[in-house]
Chains A and B, each alone.
Chain A
Amino acid sequence: MNKISVIIKREYVTRVRKKSFIIMTILAPVLMAAIIIVPTLLMMNQGGEFKKIAVIEDNSDLFKGVIKNTKDAEFVYLENTKVEDLKKTFEKSGYYGILYISPELVNTPNAVYIISSKQPPIGLLQYIENSLKKEIERQKLLAYKIENLDDIMKNVETNISVQTKKLDESGVEKGTSTGIAMALAYLLGFLMYMLVFIFGAQVMRGVIEEKTSRVVEVIISSVKPIQLMMGKIIGIALVGLTQFLIWIFLTVGIVGVLKTIILPKSGIPEISQSMPQNLMSGNQQVAGTTQAAEMSPQLAEFSKMFDSAMNQPWGLIIICFIFYFITGYLLYASVFAAIGSAVDNETETQQFMLPVTIPIILGLMVAMGTMQNPESSLSFWCSMIPLTSPIVMMARIPFGVPYWQIAISMVLMLITFGAFVWMAAKVYRTGILMYGKKTSWKEMWKWLMYSG
């Protein structure tokens, strides 16, 4: 046992001291934080450039003044102007685009178009569509000759933002967001895939290095092959866990710091409180005064996401992640170790890599599918089968998985992982001392069958 710890220590220390490890460990959380922060920033500064848009109708003024100016766009209604004429002078006119509305619009939904030298942003188009739609609806309603229609309309006007809440086992509602669950599922599935692959491959490279440099002969004359193999696998696993934990702390730290810098003082908690009030009172008057309230829609959206992220079952996620990382990694790493032991150099690994890579890639693909449809039977089975379960189960957990399923998946994982380590150790023991012979699957099978 003492000798294993010496081996673990060497494997760990030599890797952790490497420059590439230190760089990756620091850089990844910065990138991760950027992924979280940058969309928020973009959300807050949307639009950017101010747009002037010419509105032209054909021989009517049905839609005059219908489209109100916004803080990003000004709509200039041009009477007695032809689209063709304006097009000719468009370059010099300073307009962002020309909105042409045909009188047919009332009956023909697509009798309107916008001409621009650029692709108009989706938000602008939606705004125009909504304004026109409302106006047409109003005019159609007018045809019914209802009294006080304008007052009724004002009274009826409502804004809706669907809040998703999930009922957990204790009956407490929690705010969730499908977007966050998807992002988290993607992140966890992908992270698992990366870690298993990166560190599994490191084990393989380590074994090949020892074999080609013949270090293995010196070590095997001091310790048992299984000790060397497990020492290497565990040492590298600890490297992975170290990196993972540092990533978590740094990411949380960086996001926390940036959040307080970027968001105004009245930040998250107040806004999230004001949200239900807004809904209840049916308009946005409540939050009309403070500066924060002006950004309220975007900020509220962000705070909603943030709440949702906080409401994920983090304890379960971290426990499962560590479990699946350790077992999934041990399973694949032992197979990688066996492959490394069977070859003389890295190029020879190709033929053995494919069958190992397929379940991992399959797991990743199913994990992607899981984000679209977390309840599919394919996701279910792949989260049970031990070769794919580490990746797929991690992708399922943010959407909620019954505990019994997690339990079965974990038990299956433990059994399979034990069997794989045992087989890999047998192949490894023979393989590391074989030189100069090209190994085939048949040969490896024979090593597996060697007794004693």
Chain B
Amino acid sequence: MALFEAKNVTKQYGNQLALDNVSISVPEQCIYGLLGPNGAGKTTLIRIINQITGPDTGELFLNGKKLMPEDVQFIGYLPEERGLYKKMKVGEQALYFAQLKGLSKAEAMKRLKYWFKKLDIIDWWGKKVEELSKGMQQKVQFVTTVLHEPKLLIFDEPFTGFDPLNTKIVKNEILFLRERGATIIFSTHNMESVEELCDNITLIDKAKTILEGSVNEIRSKWAANEYDLVFEGDVKIEGNGHYNILKQQKDNNKSIFRLKTTSDINTNDILQTAIKSGNIISFNPALPSMNEIFIRVVEARN
């Protein structure tokens, strides 16, 4: 069942159409990627989900019921541009945001201690935000976003500014939150993290949905009969009537070939011919990266 749904959402700013009849459906405990080039309308959609602005037309549902202003307590939002009071102390600030989300002071305090310890930022409790590095600030903001244990979490570019180590920590936390029952919508330009984390995606370009579905399905669909064949040692093969060699390279005493089948050939048949040329290490369907798909889809529209 879908935890969150947006149906036929349209939003216009002046003469600018920001969202044109966009619908998304986010299954429960799913990590849902919201992709698209800059200015496509992702942030507008996120703001509408957070009820910061209202849609011109279209409806929003949380848990099958119409989204109401009170539902903000079930939603956690990490904006793209980090928003913290620079002159305020970290702990006080986190407490303030938690109280705005409706937590009692005592409860907020308890949970904050837990999270601050978990993310190893407890030493920063009494420091002013302006004294923190960008990554640290993001960790603080991350905590304030998840603190009230919302059912729906919205992360807008959660990894920018993190070093690889912290990126890994935050990724693990996101997976952990999903494990505990949260549903996550996240918007990013980092396609590697999409492949790694997302179950489903929607790609928006120029206010319209242009690609939608589960990441695996999309990648297989775009795979377009390409395979990676890897031999041990220095091996040479040539294309035949059934497949062409798209590219080949030698690496670390391995020979790697990208094949594209040209006819309805069984993969076993490919292997049977290939097996004669040398020692096969691996044979995989060559899934295009989300990065390639993104570029190809968006470029095709321009």
A residues at B contact (CB < 8 Å)? 3, 6-7, 10, 14, 209-210, 213-224, 433, 452
Contacts and interface: CB of A to CB of B under 8 A. Distances in A.
Contacts of B52: 217, 220-221, 433
Contacts of A213: 83-86
Nearest to B50: A221
B246 interface: no
Given A6-B100, A433-B52, A217 B69 contact: no
Interface string B70-107: 00100101010111111110000000110111100000
Nearest to B96: A10
A393 to B, nearest CB: 37
B51 interface: yes
Contacts of B99: 3, 6
Contacts of A7: 100
A221 B81 contact: no
Given A6-B96, A213-B85, A452 B79 contact: no
Contacts of A6: 96, 99-100
A370 B261 CA distance: 95
A223 B100 contact: yes
Q: What band does the interface of chain B fall in when counting residues whose beta carbon is under 8 Å from A?
A: 20 to 34
A433 B51 CA distance: 12
Contact of A217 (B54, B72, B83): B83
Contacts, number: 59
- Listed from nearest, the 3 A-B pairs whose CB atoms lie closest are A214-B83, A215-B83, A214-B81
A213 B93 CA distance: 14
B53 A433 contact: yes
B97 A218 contact: yes
B85 A215 contact: yes
A214 B79 contact: yes
Nearest to A13: B92
A222 B97 CA distance: 8
Contacts of B101: 222
A134 B50 CA distance: 89
A284 B144 CA distance: 79
Given A218-B83, A433-B47, A433-B52, A3 B100 contact: yes
Nearest to B100: A222
Given A218-B144, A219-B97, A222-B97, 14 more contacts: A3-B100, A3-B102, A6-B96, A7-B100, A14-B88, A210-B83, A213-B83, A214-B79, A217-B77, A220-B52, A221-B51, A221-B75, A433-B52, A452-B54
6 contacts: A14-B85, A14-B88, A215-B84, A217-B52, A218-B83, A220-B52
A14 to B, nearest CB: 6
A277 B91 CA distance: 69
A340 B196 CA distance: 42
A309 B80 CA distance: 59
A427 to B, nearest CB: 15
A208 to B, nearest CB: 13
Given A214-B83, A216-B83, A224 B69 contact: yes
Interface string B24-49: 00000000000000000000000100
A216 B101 CA distance: 14
Contact of A218 (B54, B69, B79, B87): B79
Contacts of B50: 220-221
Contact of A222 (B53, B72, B84): B72
Of listed A10, A219, A221, residue having the most chain B CB within 10 A: A221
A222 B77 CA distance: 9
Nearest to B78: A218
Interface in B97-133: 97, 99-102
B82 A214 contact: yes
A3 B70 CA distance: 12
A202 to B, nearest CB: 13
A428 B121 CA distance: 35
Contacts of A218: 77, 79, 83, 97, 141, 144
Nearest to A209: B85
Given A14-B88, A213-B86, A219 B79 contact: no
A215 B140 CA distance: 13
B232 to A, nearest CB: 54
A441 to B, nearest CB: 16
Nearest to A435: B81
A14 B88 CA distance: 8
Given A6-B96, A6-B99, A7-B100, A217 B79 contact: yes
Nearest to A220: B52
Contacts of B144: 218
Nearest to A446: B14
A213 B83 CA distance: 5
Contacts of A223: 100
B81 A217 contact: yes
Interface string B137-160: 000010010000000000000000
